[in-house]
Structure 1
Amino acid sequence: MNWLSISSNAFIIAFFLYCFSFIGFCIAIGGRRWSNRDVEAHKKRWARIGFVLAILGWVSHLVFFFTRWKGGGHIPTSNMYEFMTFLGMAIMFAFIVVYLIYRTALLGAFATPLVVIIIAYASVFPSEVQPLIPALNSIWLKVHVTTAAAGEAFFAVSFAAALVQLLRVVDFSSKEKSAVRQQRGVEWVLIFIIVIIGFLVSVFGFRAGGYSAEFRQENFEIDQQGQELDSVQSVKYDLPPIVAPYNSETVHMTSFLGMEQPLFEAPSWMNGVNAGRKLNTVIWSIISGAILYGIARLIARKPLAAVIHPHLDGIDPEDLDEISYRAIAIGFPVFTLGALIFAMIWAQIAWSRFWGWDPKEVWALITWLFYSAYLHLRLSRGWQGTKSAWLAVIGFIVVLFTLIGVNLVIAGLHSYAGV
């Protein structure tokens, strides 16, 4: 039996079921305004449809996970594609748990697109099953990665609830300084999400168009004996190269909008053979995100947060505050076990030390300290409402940087995850 083929098909089915689930929740929230029938009956019916589709998508996602495990011979969490797909599955599980407790359809309208974005982001990376490197060939890979991802999944649900809370309570008609700061802050969070979507649009768009470019980069390194080593490596681009690798020459480059050569070269201090390509990806993400945001603003003719705000009337912000807090309260001890305790045990086994100041370790600690501060301020200082919501939103942005920025930008022992 071709387990990997079954896994691939199950992944596609899960993706579309999540998309349909999102549509169901949106109809439950927004479509009720167009319904001539009983509003509450309409909301419950479509919320139930959205939730059932979410469960079916999660079951299909489970099939993907276990059939890939069977076909690949090891738990599928060893590279960026596998980890991000697992994180998406964990977020959906966390959402299902929270939804069964609170029955809030609005949370589904924000949590399901987050899952869709994350697994779409996973699809950017190579999906081939790769053999485990020696450091990963341990049972602690299973317990460390899965529990860390489970904790982060509840942080994601908290982020969704907190963002909805801010969209609900911020006064977008006020001109006071404090209100304007809140308005701009919420808008920037939406822009951040749109930039991630812009990244996906850029990558999949140029891949569909068959775009490619290749450079030959010459690197000079100093070995332990102080001798200079010269190496030549090939760097391939899937996006038009606005930025070329440092100290490189063009092997071939497909013309795009009359651009026959890169506009400039990456600075010399950006180390790593893929540094220029990563900077180029960041630039294209910002460009695509700015275009998408500009189109949305032209259509809406006002800030996007102000467009969403009126559709949240009738939502109790205290319920959202409670959901956000409870999700963190569940996720924090799980994250502590997975990202710190189990990670240190694995580090001792793999690298003979519990702690080594690797960038991923440092940012995992920063994430843990941030959510520790959140719980302290919440429980000891009585920070609730808007203050608590902002902490939950910022906390998940820290999580995303730990997952994406550290893996793909900062070199370290965890850099294998970005290959």
Structure 2
Amino acid sequence: MSLIDFSSDAFIVAFFLYCLAFTFYGVAVMGRRFRKREPEAHTAKWGKIAFYTAVIGLIAQLTYFVTRWIWSGHVPVSNMYEFMTFLSMAIMIAFIVLYILYRKSLLGLFALPLAILIMAYAAVFPQEVQPLIPSLKSYWLGIHVTMAALGDAFFAVGFVAGLMHLLRTVNFGSSDKSSRREQRWLEFCMFMIVVLIGFIVSVYSFRAGGYHAEFSQMKWNEETQQEQVVTVDYDMPPIVAPYDSQAISVQSFIGMQDSFFEAPSWMHGINAARKLNTVLWSVFSGLILYGLLRAIIRRPLAKMIQPALGRMDPDDLDEISYRAIAIGFPIFTLGGLIFAMIWAEVAWGRFWGWDPKEIWALITWLFYSVYLHLRLSRGWQGKHSSWLTVIGFIVVMFTLVGVNLIIAGLHSYAGTD
């Protein structure tokens, strides 16, 4: 077995250990309902088992990270697969730090699924070790990206605690206008999580079925100053095909062999339509999955989850959320801004260039600056603070994923097409 194969196996082991730890946290939190005697002892016992399982999973993921680093010769954070796997590992590190501080088993019941989802999402991208482009061949790659991701990981745990606070405090028994608005927005958050799950399920389902479609398009080559034929592969049935393209081969899927639409002319780049196609499939599968869940449980998802948080102190959740962001903010400031600007000067000869990723990193920093200001100076706590953590995490995920996959720029490198 080669080192890279061992690295991949360690990643898979970590994934299943996290799933097992999540199950144990479920037993710790949910099982206490069936323990009439000593429910606290039951929670403590299974919470400890879950925590140690998660720690062993983190060790396995660290093994993946180190062995892939040795094999590739550079810090494995240079493309979307490597970055998202590192982000999931950083979320586990942030979770363990916060768990040691607060000893709340329920936090694991929400933080671990986030890490698991990000690991599953990472596996959607090409997993081969890819050579670095010239601008990435620097020790600043490891310093800037890892610290920025670690800061984002603490923001993610802050989001988890904030979402738990909202699930705990939103009044589903009230029908006044303010409560209904909170209920709708909270359920929308749950829907977006289901959309992500639906996307992952769709990708793996079509891959397991061996689906493939291919299109060709004429593209102007700036180097040769001539037109050339380029192709794009689809792993999901094409709802949207590239603009002015020809279908080379399209497998039939419930009558969709020739029933796709052509992308509008303003969507430049042959991969733009494929990305839009992925978004459409994500929403479509998310709607189906959400509809099935609603049909089974016959009530909003947020309302179903709320009873599980009944014993959790809202003030504790609010404090955990704030503490996570307070830890993550200086880390992100160093990694996402200061070290990033130093590396930009080394790589491109300027500290700031208004690249889309740079702009959104600044927006992220400004948002959490406002959050901390409102929290410390204006006394924004409770629901106000929790809603800000949810919005902040949306900004973080768009910065990490949306910019790389939607907006072209200097940071849209390997593994994003």
TM more than 0.5: yes
The residue type equivalent to 1:289 in the other structure is G
SS at match of 2:26: helix
Match of 1:189 in 2: 189
Q: Measure, in 1, the Cα distance between the counterparts of 2:342 and 2:387.
A: 33
Instruction: Report the CA distance between 1:36 and its aligned residue.
Output: 3.9
Match of 1:274 in 2: 271
State whether structure 2 residue 369 is matched by structure 1 residue 372: yes
Q: For 1:95 and 1:172, how far apart are their aligned partners in 2?
A: 29
Q: What residue is the counterpart of 1:263 in the other structure?
A: 260
Rounded Cα–Cα distance in structure 2 between residues aligned with 1:253 and 1:320: 50
CA positional deviation for 1:97: 0.3
For 1:13-412, what aligned pairs fall within 5 Å after superposition? 13-220=13-220, 229-412=226-409
Partners of 1:393 and 1:94 in 2: how far apart? 17
How far apart, CA to CA, are the structure 1 residues paired with 2:228 and 2:181?
50
Q: Find the residue that maps to 1:172 and give its secondary structure.
A: coil
Return 5+ residue gaps in structure 1 as ranges: none
Task: Quote the offset at 1:44 in angstroms.
Answer: 0.7
Alpha-carbon distance in 2 for matches of 1:191, 1:220: 41
Q: Which amino acid is the alignment partner of residue 369 of structure 1? A: L
Helix, strand or coil at the partner of 1:416: coil
Deviations 1:390-415 (A, max 9, x none): 00111011100011100011000011
Structure 2: any 5+ residue segments left out of the alignment?
Answer: none
Question: Structure 1 residues 70, 220: closer, same or farther in 2, change over 3 A?
Answer: closer
Name the aligned partner's letter for residue 194 of structure 1.
V
Counterpart Cα distance in 2 of 1:191 and 1:361:
29
Find the aligned partners of 2:397 and 2:193 in 1 and give their Cα distance: 11
The Cα of 1:228 is off from its aligned counterpart by 7.5
User: CA deviation digits over 1:140-178, x for unaligned, max 9?
Assistant: 001000100010000000000000000000001110111
Offset, 1:191: 0.7
1:74 to partner: Cα distance: 1.0
Amino acid at match of 1:190: M
| More divergent stretch after superposition (20-29 vs 208-217) | 20-29
Q: Bigger CA drift: 41-50 or 321-330?
A: 41-50
Counterpart CA distance in 2 for 1:325 and 1:109 is 19
Alignment partners' CA distance in 2, 1:160 and 1:202: 25
CA distance in 2, matches of 1:324, 1:121: 24
Distance 1:351 1:294, change over 3 A: same
Q: How far is 1:220 from its partner?
A: 4.7
> TM (normalized to structure 2)?
0.98
Q: How far 1:263 sits from its partner (Å)?
A: 2.2
CA–CA distance in structure 1, aligned partners of residues 214 and 34 of structure 2: 52
Contact 1:244 1:262 in 2 (8 A): no
* 1:205 partner amino acid: S
Q: In percent, how many aligned pairs have the same letter?
A: 62
Supply the distance in 2 between the matched residues of 1:329 and 1:36 (Cα, whole angstroms). Answer: 39
**TM superposition shift of 1:37:** 3.5
For the residue of structure 2 that corresponds to 1:215, the secondary structure is: strand
Distance in 1, Cα, partners of 2:353 & 2:71:
34
TM superposition shift of 1:218: 1.8
Deviation, structure 1 residue 231: 2.8
Q: Aligned equivalents of 1:233 and 1:65: distance in 2?
A: 34
For structure 1, which segment, 203-212 or 33-42, has the greater mean C-alpha deviation from structure 2 after superposition? 33-42
Q: TM-score scaled to structure 1, two decimals?
A: 0.97
Q: Which residue identity lines up with residue 265 of structure 2 in the other structure?
A: S
Q: Counterpart of 2:18 in 1: which secondary structure?
A: helix
Question: 401-410 or 24-33, which moves further after superposition?
Answer: 24-33
User: Deviation string for 1:1-34 (max 9, x for gaps)?
Assistant: 7211110110000000000111111111112112
Q: Is the 8 A contact 1:7 1:65 kept in 2?
A: yes
**Cα offset, 1:379, TM superposition:** 0.5
Q: Which runs of 4+ in 1 moved over 2 A?
A: 227-231
Over residues 227-282 of structure 1, what are the superposed CA-to-partner deviations in whole Å (9 max), with x where a residue is unaligned? 97523210100000011011101000110012221421111111222001000000
* RMSD of Structure 2 on Structure 1 (CA): 1.3
Distance 2:36 2:373 in 1: 47
SS of structure 2 residue aligned to 1:411: coil
Task: Count how many residue pairs are aligned between Structure 1 and Structure 2.
Answer: 416
> In structure 2, what residue type is equivalent to 1:192?
M
